[in-house]
Structure 1
Amino acid sequence: MARDYYEILGVRREASKDEIKKAYRRLARELHPDVNPDPATQERFKEVTQAYEVLSDESKRRMFDMGADPFAQSGAGGGFGGGAAGFPFDDIMNAFFGGGGGGGRGPRDRARRGRSIKVRVELDLSETAFGVTKDVTFPTAVLCDTCHGEGTANGTQRHTCDMCQGRGEVSQVTRSFLGQVMTTRPCPQCAGQGTVITDPCPDCAGEGRVRERVTRKVQIPAGVEDGTQIQLAGEGEIGPNGGPRGDIFLEIVQKPHPIFERRGDDLHCTVTVPMTAAALGASLTIETLDGEEEVDVRPGTNSDHVITLDGRGCRHLNDPGRGDLMIRVNVETPNKLDEEQEALLRKFAELRGENHPPGKFSPGHGNFFSRLRDAFGTR
């Protein structure tokens, strides 16, 4: 058992991580071999480094406080002078420059989360307005039925990596401004997993998943618009080695409608009526999303008059109620008349005193300053 690591760093047994880090940084600057090459000082520097390695690691510190040897499992002597438990370079960087610890060590989890998918769904106006249940087909990755996500051929299993001996990481001693430093990185042979596949599954080539085209029945809510995205959590690609699924994002594409233009939850359209119908009034049959409806054009209706049908638009998304249907009236003036029609129309104009109309003029909208002057009643 080594000396008291708390005594070596000169800190209390109840010292916090920050206090331990500050003590180590102060001593390391004083004892570093580049500053003081004396052999005795170098041994002291190794001792300080080993003390910090133990006290900065919660599990090793707990073992030391219980009277056990923190290096017993690895059989390492610690410090910079060799051994399997050499002080990691990132911990030294954290000690001098701050930052979080290196995190847990050991093999990485083989399973990884799958990729999210974006799927375009084309819908008619009525489907976006009222919602619909839709079958959506798309390519994705699914669990391999042969190996059930393990990636190994039938009757075989994964083997311990002979490069890292199952640890998932390999260590390398390098020379730095602090002397010899042992750095640790993921094992390149097993990608940090600690195991390798020698006999991969013939169907998925060891990935644990295969690509297929699948069809999902999805519920599209009422009121969605063109460009709306709907997230289906956990419905995307399954991850490598049986990892959790990603998400599906449904992107709504609303197909153009031959009659209606959608603006928010309101619908707009234009109906053209002859001049006589606008003057005398008429009853029109209008096609709406709810079916045919009778609409009255009142006598004397002018062009650009808007007839509003309340509640005949699209449903509000996640909210009760509907938008409106706005029908703009376009009055059509005939441009070709036969002799009898022209005579009757001239007689009509004479009866109304409009055979020589003077015309009616009104001011334009004006610019910003004239409108501002009118609003305050100034001249």
Structure 2
Amino acid sequence: MATKLDYYAVLEVTREVSSDELKKAYRKLAMKYHPDRNAGDASAEERFKQINEAYDVLKDADKRAAYDRFGHAAFEGGGGGPGGFDFGGGFGGGGLGDIFEQMFGDMMGGRRGGGGRSAGADIQTQVEITLAEAFTGVKKSITIKTRVMCESCDGTGSKDKEAGVEVCPSCHGAGKVRAQQGFFVVERPCPSCHGAGRVIKDPCPACHGVGTVEQPRTLEIAIPAGVEDGTRIRLSGEGQSGGKGAPAGDLYVHIAVQASELFQRDGSNIYCRVPLRMAQAALGTEVEVPVVDGTRASVKIPAGTQSGEHFRLRGKGFSVLRSSSRGDMYVQVVVETPQNLSKRQKELLEEFEKEAGEHVKSSPEHAGFFSRVKDFFEGRS
């Protein structure tokens, strides 16, 4: 068995990384190595799987603590790899209590169905959506490579179906054996049947005794309005088949929301930068701005508005997950300095500057700053 890489090294972070920095590192790497952007590159696909596995563990405080203390041994035998949040925010596992139960109880046994058979593996994939799709919600069709039950043997793995399957004589169908390790008795997969609990005499030629065959499958997933970048949706039972008598694994869909050229999102609030000419900011004006829902809104800019000021539009922000309410929109004014002036424009600005110098009240911050600068130097003399 290949040695697993350190989860922190996989995400290219240190062990002291904060949760926010961890999330940023994950998003960057997931986008870089996503299979859709690296078609036919097996190494990129494997890297993508490693990135998702590492993030599934380190983003959860309990699992991260267990990993820091016990390493990969804390999650061996989970059947489908490290557990995680489902879309509703619940755990796929139950925190440290379940981790210790796995280590010292059903260690490496995995989820099992009837007859002691292990559940199918979980599948990870990623879907990119636009900010507009995240606002309204959207349905997306995805095609995944998965394993389905072999029709030739009905998932038994035997050429003669049930007739060619016998209970494993080593573990008596349990799929696991007990071993003494110091003060503890640890259960491990049976070496004779590899945890299956059964022995196949004549393997099925179609699936080679596995009970499942690889096959592409297309699914339609509903992404709700208000979903955030980095959200993981769990589709129970849509992973790989575990064969006859065993439950299927789960499908985890990671949502990547594309950046917008107009808006920046912060939770349920939306920010939009609007450039103004110097005269517009000085005299006051009214501007029309785009809204994330595709409509327009009018914003009155009072005379004397300074660069960086915000104007709030209530209820014009982003949709809130599982709610009919919306956040707010903030319009940030950016006052631009004119460039490539004509001769006449320069003359007008020179006249304006001369007039402004004689009436300092028209630029209170300017006057106040240089007054403080004067006091500063006089105090040092």
Give the alignment's TM-score, normalised by structure 1.
Answer: 0.56
Whether the aligned pair in 1 keeps the contact of 2:287 and 2:300 (CA below 8 Å) is: yes
SS at match of 1:142: strand
Whether the aligned pair in 2 keeps the contact of 1:157 and 1:197 (CA below 8 Å) is: no
1:252-267 to structure 2, matched below 5 A, reads 252-267=255-270
> What is the CA–CA distance in structure 1 between the aligned matches of 2:217 and 2:169, rounded to whole Å?
40
Instruction: Report what 1:322 is aligned to.
Output: 326
Could you say if the C-alpha distance between residues 223 and 270 of structure 1 is closer, same or farther in structure 2, counting changes exceeding 3 Å?
same
Whether the aligned pair in 2 keeps the contact of 1:158 and 1:195 (CA below 8 Å) is: no
Instruction: Report what 2:337 is aligned to.
Output: 333
Match of 1:346 among 346, 350, 355: 350
Whether the aligned pair in 2 keeps the contact of 1:143 and 1:149 (CA below 8 Å) is: yes
Deviation at 1:189, TM superposition (A): 4.5
1:331-375 deviation digits (Å, cap 9, x = unpaired): 11224433222222334455x5535859422599xxxxxxxxxxx
Instruction: Report what 1:141 is aligned to.
Output: 147
Structure number having the greater helix percentage: 2
Runs of at least 5 residues in structure 1 that lack an aligned partner in the other structure: 1-98, 101-107, 170-184, 365-379
> What is the CA–CA distance in structure 1 between the aligned matches of 2:352 and 2:204, rounded to whole Å?
91
Deviation at 1:130, TM superposition (A): 2.1
Deviation at 1:155, TM superposition (A): 7.1
Could you say if the C-alpha distance between residues 355 and 340 of structure 1 is closer, same or farther in structure 2, counting changes exceeding 3 Å?
farther
Could you say if the C-alpha distance between residues 186 and 353 of structure 1 is closer, same or farther in structure 2, counting changes exceeding 3 Å?
closer
> What is the CA–CA distance in structure 1 between the aligned matches of 2:339 and 2:269, rounded to whole Å?
34
Instruction: Report what 2:287 is aligned to.
Output: 284
Instruction: Report what 2:48 is aligned to.
Output: none
Runs of at least 5 residues in structure 2 that lack an aligned partner in the other structure: 1-103, 106-113, 175-187, 372-381
Match of 1:151 among 148, 157, 160: 157
Structure 1: which amino acid aligns with 2:134?
T
1:359-378 to structure 2, matched below 5 A, reads 359-361=366-368
RMSD: 3.4
> What is the CA–CA distance in structure 1 between the aligned matches of 2:347 and 2:195, rounded to whole Å?
96
Whether the aligned pair in 2 keeps the contact of 1:225 and 1:252 (CA below 8 Å) is: yes
Whether the aligned pair in 2 keeps the contact of 1:164 and 1:187 (CA below 8 Å) is: no
Match of 1:307 among 294, 305, 311: 311
Structure 1: which amino acid aligns with 2:289?
I
SS at match of 2:280: helix
1:151-230 to structure 2, matched below 5 A, reads 151-153=157-159, 157-160=163-166, 164=169, 167-168=172-173, 189-190=192-193, 195-230=198-233
Deviation at 1:165, TM superposition (A): 9.7
1:227-270 deviation digits (Å, cap 9, x = unpaired): 11122122211114441011122211111111111111111121
Instruction: Report what 1:175 is aligned to.
Output: none
Q: What count of residue pairs does the alignment treat as equivalent?
A: 244
Structure 2: which amino acid aligns with 1:200?
P
Identity of aligned residues (%): 37
SS at match of 2:115: coil
Could you say if the C-alpha distance between residues 186 and 264 of structure 1 is closer, same or farther in structure 2, counting changes exceeding 3 Å?
closer
SS at match of 2:163: coil
Instruction: Report what 2:58 is aligned to.
Output: none
Give the alignment's TM-score, normalised by structure 2.
Answer: 0.56
Instruction: Report what 2:43 is aligned to.
Output: none
Match of 2:120 among 94, 114, 119: 114
Whether the aligned pair in 2 keeps the contact of 1:311 and 1:325 (CA below 8 Å) is: yes
Q: Which piece of structure 1 moves more, 334-343 or 134-143?
A: 334-343
> What is the CA–CA distance in structure 1 between the aligned matches of 2:272 and 2:279, rounded to whole Å?
21
SS at match of 1:231: strand
1:90-129 to structure 2, matched below 5 A, reads 109-129=115-135
Structure 1: which amino acid aligns with 2:152?
T
1:53-72 to structure 2, matched below 5 A, reads none
Could you say if the C-alpha distance between residues 131 and 243 of structure 1 is closer, same or farther in structure 2, counting changes exceeding 3 Å?
same
Structure 1: which amino acid aligns with 2:283?
L
Could you say if the C-alpha distance between residues 353 and 314 of structure 1 is closer, same or farther in structure 2, counting changes exceeding 3 Å?
closer
Q: Which protein shows a greater Rg?
A: 1
Deviation at 1:211, TM superposition (A): 1.4
Structure 2: which amino acid aligns with 1:213?
P
Instruction: Report what 1:298 is aligned to.
Output: 302
**1:236 is aligned to 2:239:** yes
> What is the CA–CA distance in structure 2 between the aligned matches of 1:225 and 1:321, rounded to whole Å?
16
SS at match of 2:210: coil
Could you say if the C-alpha distance between residues 159 and 142 of structure 1 is closer, same or farther in structure 2, counting changes exceeding 3 Å?
closer
> What is the CA–CA distance in structure 2 between the aligned matches of 1:113 and 1:122, rounded to whole Å?
29
**1:245 is aligned to 2:245:** no
1:311-336 deviation digits (Å, cap 9, x = unpaired): 22211112331111111101112244
> What is the CA–CA distance in structure 2 between the aligned matches of 1:239 and 1:153, rounded to whole Å?
18
> What is the CA–CA distance in structure 1 between the aligned matches of 2:222 and 2:189, rounded to whole Å?
44
Deviation at 1:201, TM superposition (A): 1.6
